[in-house]
Structure 1
């Protein structure tokens, strides 16, 4: 007699192998047919193109990775089989959503993504906090689905089209007030799922999920808004609502970076980090660079999956550290500024972004800040020699820029069938003003000025708290 446990282990191994085979198959198909990926349609209901296959490849990789990790991590877990079923349902819902051309499919599978994720968050049915987290997050996800439904149905009503391609082909014939309402509804659905302020609290309240589910959430679910905005980008352009994405994304990125510094729980710290990264992704959409947003969501998925799956090891090897103020010598300032300028030039040369007077300048600004921060961390490291401090920064950012440029150009090619991939916008006074505010906020954070003002500290701490019912409310 074969025990139920052995049967389950065998089934789990088969499912995991199938997932890895799917990933290998998707990746091989992309590589073999790149750059000319054939497009396939099933009537007006489904469509598969380079962008569809790109997202499928990423999704199947994360699904297979988390399934492999969960085999040992969740061994003996009462709801292990339920976790596998929900994870598969979530993966399939993303895959169908990406290839859906009928607005009914878009709405239904966007809703199913939220449903499966909320079930994963509250998978431990015997835990009161998990039940509350399930209800709390599901409320947000259903609200987002409602806004998406209103936006798409409104467009369908005025265009007499029920497919995404049909609506986009007639978007310029729709009255502006209709596209504006629809654009705002689509943006609301996107920022709810990405936990953008003021809808961020659901992600902070979702820590009841097992670590593999958290990895899937942060690597795959919150990134879904980037896919949604890319699919519906013509509507955002027609409604002139990109500036809204730029502002709320930038504000979220700065605020979430602040709140990350105040967290003592490793998963809450990672949640704040995810919110900040989603802010950057939304901001890239607002700048008209949907291809950059897709690259960002892919890279963030890899990075955050690694951080969550290795979070236990990080706890074991970490110890409390005192906050240190930023101190830098004049020569070090010159080195940081020089390398920031070189890194920015290299970024613009390799990707073509930021070399003209348009919204791409903001992306190069972020690159300059990132390169400067990395350089500062290296030149201030006491264990490194002068030679190492001189050589390491260019080696790191040159290799990083080249790798990013390769991926950026590859993703852009795969997205060539999409209606709008990268449409830089002219720089407006609003964007310049917000760029200055963004820089001021960054330096306030890095210099630790907020620590000298208790009311700022208290405000940041309060807005970065989960819903009270999801934290220690049901002690047994």
Structure 2
């Protein structure tokens, strides 16, 4: 570490646990797993039909609360357990664990908050604690800069939440989140648009959507466990915010279209930005930008249960990939790059296409979405495209015999979609007590343009056509650069030993 501010230990975790500094990590790890067990008990009670529980005007434990409690405490437990070894010997390990455990408690408070002041305070605290984790390494200049950049974004996000809540509070006199969300047309069009605009900006910043993704790409200075918690939990707050205010978001169809456009833009650009990255963690960061865009699109389509399902499954995916990111570094000899289209022939294309369409049909049958001429068709498309992507990758793997990989494509793809549909149905059942869970929108020209853009972008990326434009490549590289001050310019600026 530059400046010698960070001590390093190469001893075993067993040796580290004999020191007094291991007591707090051990205690907090056990506590967070106890919170997870307690959350499972609450989920069980919800499935049995009990609840919601509330302290009038202050907190409410409803379906969204119990889902997020269970997910957040599980991810936090994994991060706590992983970090005991990852940070063994660090002299600041206690501070890290207190911050992660505190972050967990703040998020649990946020998703249960019913009073407007408590909700705003939890939103602010969540951002401040995450900024502290981004700048965890005190002696690293780039880490401190990244923390300051993130803190400014999070304060702006909190400001917009305050504007939205304050405007609705002023117009209605209500102090509860549920009451403010239900205001709808009662507050008048100007107030409604101010509140909705502020809510969308807050969600866009917190979820690192384009053009506010810079703080996320600069946050790679955070310890890997903190990055896992950030991408698995923190960035999902935008979806939670829109779901809490779903009754207000769904009042005006034009607002829902705006949400779709904002989310789709980030989803498309996130996919393209990822394609020009060489750093493992930066690739995961760009992927999160795109995935959060998908989450926001689902909310804009009126499927808030699908948005919550997406953030849950994305959390599992990103937590795993960040904590195993070291495995992504391979020591291999350079070989000529193979064109993406050379790995499979025409039968492979047909198998992948049929499997993707079959996956959409399975999802429609199991969930009932996509069977009517409404935004459910677009939601089903978002199931077909990822299925196509996964099955196409499998179909062109030359390491497997042709017959085997073509057989594996439907055997892997279709059950995976069925599992997703089941998880979606379970989550929708758990959050059924929310005022708005499903509110399909009528199909419009905008939806058609979004669908066409996704298909064109998918084909361009999969065939590699987009690489022929040097101008586009440079533009994507520039757009995916974090703030300059957070970049390492010499390896000596961060030397663990």
TM bracket, shorter-chain basis = over 0.9
Q: For 1:313-370, what per-residue CA distance to the aligned partner results, in whole angstroms no more than 9, with x for missing partners?
A: 2215677662423145333333222222222111100111111111111122122222
Query: Does the CA-based 8 Å contact 1:37-1:49 persist in structure 2?
Result: no
| Native 8 Å contact 1:123 1:130 kept in 2 | yes
Q: Is 1:444–2:460 an aligned residue pair?
A: yes
Partner of 2:339: 324
- Verify: 1:360 aligned to 2:376, yes or no: yes
Q: Which residue of 2 aligns with 1:20?
A: 33
Q: After the TM superposition, which of the residue ranges 377-386 and 436-445 deviates more from structure 2?
A: 377-386
Q: Distance in 2 between matches of 1:313 and 1:340?
A: 29
Match of 2:6 in 1: none
SS at 1:382's partner residue?
coil
The CA distance in 2 between the partners of 1:210 and 1:231, in whole Å, is 31
Aligned alpha-carbon RMSD (Å): 1.9
Name the CA shift for 1:64/1:333 in 2 (closer, same or farther; >3 Å): closer
Measure the CA separation in 2 of the matches of 1:168 and 1:296. 22
Q: Contact (CA 8 Å) 2:146, 2:486: kept in 1 or not?
A: yes
* 1:138 counterpart SS class: helix
- Pick one of 110, 114, 125 that aligns with 1:112: 125
Question: Tell me, what secondary structure is at the counterpart of 1:206?
Answer: helix
Q: Residue 396 of structure 1 is aligned with which of 412, 415, 423?
A: 412
Partners of 1:97 and 1:109 within 8 A in 2: yes
Match of 2:174 in 1: 161
Aligned residues: 475
Paired residue for 1:334?
A: 350
Counterpart pick for 1:256 among 263, 266, 270 = 270
Give the secondary structure class of the aligned counterpart of 2:136.
coil
Once residues 40 and 374 of structure 1 are traced to their aligned partners in structure 2, the CA distance between those partners, rounded to angstroms, is 41
The Cα of 1:35 is off from its aligned counterpart by 4.5
Shift of 1:472: 2.4
For residue 349 of structure 1, what is the aligned residue in structure 2? 365
CA deviation after TM superposition for structure 1 residue 400, in Å: 1.0
| 1:251-309 deviation per Cα after TM superposition (whole angstroms, max 9, x unaligned) | 11111111111111111111011111111111111111110010010001111000010
CA–CA distance in structure 1, aligned partners of residues 271 and 239 of structure 2? 20
Alignment check: 8 A CA contact 1:343 1:398 kept:
yes
**Consecutive unaligned residues in structure 2, runs of 5 or more:** 1-15
User: Is the partner of 1:199 in helix, strand or coil?
Assistant: coil
State how far apart, in whole Å, the 1-side matches of 2:275 and 2:183 are. Answer: 47
Q: State the SS of the aligned residue for 1:224.
A: helix
* 2:291 matched residue in structure 1: 277
26-35 vs 175-184, greater mean Cα deviation: 26-35
Does residue 167 of structure 2 align to residue 151 of structure 1?
no
TM-score normalized with structure 2 length: 0.92
SS of corresponding position for 1:326: helix
Which residue, out of 47, 72, 78, partners 1:59? Answer: 72
1:234 Cα deviation from its structure 2 partner: 1.2
Of 452-461 and 76-85, deviating more is 76-85
The structure-2 alpha-carbon separation of the partners of 1:312 and 1:337, relative to structure 1 and needing over 3 Å to count, comes to: closer
1:92 is aligned, of 90, 105, 110, to: 105
Measure the CA separation in 2 of the matches of 1:373 and 1:14. 43
Q: Distance in 2 between matches of 1:319 and 1:244?
A: 47
Aligned-partner Cα distance in 2 for 1:332–1:393: 9
Equivalent in 386, 389, 393 of residue 370 of structure 1: 386
The 1:106–1:383 alpha-carbon spacing in structure 2 relative to 1, beyond 3 Å, is: same
Alpha-carbon distance between aligned partners in 2 of 1:384 and 1:260, rounded to the nearest angstrom:
27
Residues 128 and 473 of structure 1 are in contact (CA less than 8 Å); yes or no, is this contact kept in structure 2? no
Conserved 8 A contact 2:178-2:244: no
For residues 448-463 of structure 1, what are the structure 2 equivalents within 5 Å? 448-463=464-479
**1:129–1:473 contact (8 Å) kept in structure 2:** no
